[in-house]
Amino acid sequence: MCYTLQESKKASRKDDLEVPESLHRSRSARYINIAVDIATRIVRGEYQEGQRIFGRSSLAGRYSVSPETIRRALAILEERGIVELHPGVGVTVRSPAAAENYLAEYGQRQILADIQKRLYTYLEERSRLDLEIARLTNELLDYTFKMATRLQRIQEFRVENNSPLAGKSLEDVQFRARTGGTVLAIQRNGKEIVSPEAHTVIQPGDILIVIAPPEAIEHTRELNLTPVTGLSPALTEPRDSSFRD
């Protein structure tokens, strides 16, 4: 059966539609390799210009592939002006120079393909490393937070009459900034103000239940706050942010 270049292109497009992608890639690599091998033999002088080389069936046997694979390889070479197909006769070498140009172009494409492959590999590796870095960062932050929490203690301080905090709100005295502690609750006259607002006014005799690092005690002394032994039992029970009896 005779093929023209136009027919071979049509058949190639038909094959692209019908052949599964994975199989198509495999066959594509094979027929391109055959085209490159034939062009290489022409450049080496194994096939001279004007020389008739084997027909499709002979080439198919030589490369152990189907005639269709050979047809696609020869279609590439004919399109590049390297060989000329003669239906019913065979294939003749048309231009060794064209074969040399084709090999040079193919080599450049291979270099680009290799660069793209390596780049894709590195991008995948970078993506994997980014995920690992994010995981370790979260783990570090979580561990750091837990360690910081362990280093802090819940302590109680009584506000003395001459304390500079008396009669002022937590916001006014900037308690957290000055002591490094956070007021969890205020005990006043047998009641508790849980999670006091920033505008809550501190009164003499109030017991401040504070979570703070050990060094906060030094700052509380400057504010004339007296440490009280023991924790508020209400801290271990569910509470709302209101006065409790």
Q: What Å distances lie between residue 134 and 140, 142, 146, CA to CA?
A: 10, 12, 18
Two structure tokens written together for 130: 């980014």
Three state DSSP letters for the chain = CCCCHHHHHHHHHHHHHHCCHHHHHHHHHHHHHHHHHHHHHHHHCCCCCCCEECCHHHHHHHHCCCHHHHHHHHHHHHHCCCEEEECCCEEEECCHHHHHHHHHHHHHHHHHHHHHHHHHHHHHHHHHHHHHHHHHHHHHHHHHHHHHHHHCEEEEEEECCCCCCCCCEHHHHCHHHHHCCEEEEEEECCEEEECCCCCCECCCCCEEEEEECCCHHHHHHHCCEEEECCCCHHHHCCCCCCEEC
Query: How far, CA to CA in Å, does 124 sit from each of 60, 121, 211?
Result: 39, 5, 46
Tell me the residue range of the domain where 160 lies: 152-244
pLDDT value, residue 205: 93
23 and 129 belong to one structural domain: yes
Asked whether 56 and 71 are in contact (CB, 8 A), the reply is yes
Do 140 and 157 have their domain in common? no
Instruction: Please check whether residue 96 is in contact with residue 49, taking contact to mean a CB–CB distance below 8 angstroms.
Output: yes
Q: What are phi and psi of 68, to 5 degrees?
A: -65, -40
Q: Are 55 and 126 found together in one domain?
A: yes
Q: Which CATH number is 184's domain given?
A: 3.30.70.1450
Are residues 207 and 131 located together in one domain of the fold?
Answer: no
Output the domain CATH number for residue 32: 1.10.10.10
Which residue among 129, 150, 171 closes a domain?
A: 150
**What is the rounded CA–CA span in Å between residue 75 and residue 106?**
16
Whether residue 29 is found in the same domain as residue 119: yes
Give yes or no: residues 5 and 117 share one domain.
yes
- Using the 3D structure, point to which of 104, 132, 150 is the last residue of a domain: 150
Residues 64 and 158 in one domain: no
Q: 239 and 181, same structural domain?
A: yes
Residues 21, 136, single domain; the answer is yes
Question: What is the per-residue pLDDT across 162-199, written as a single tens digit (0 to 9) for each?
Answer: 998 899 998 888 888 888 888 889 999 988 898 899 89
Under-70 pLDDT residues of the chain:
1-28, 146-152, 229-245
Cα distance between residue 225 and residue 46, in whole Å: 101
Q: Which of 128, 150, 172 is the last residue of a domain?
A: 150
My answer on whether 100 and 156 are in the same domain is no
Q: In this predicted structure, what is the pLDDT of residue 11?
A: 42
> What is the tally of structural domains in the chain?
2
| pLDDT for position 3 | 40
pTM for the full predicted model: 0.39
Distance CA(6)–CA(3), nearest Å, equals 8
Task: Report the Cα 94 to chain-centroid distance in Å.
Answer: 51
Residues 131 and 227 in one domain: no
124 in the same domain as 178: no
Would you state the pLDDT for residue 147?
67
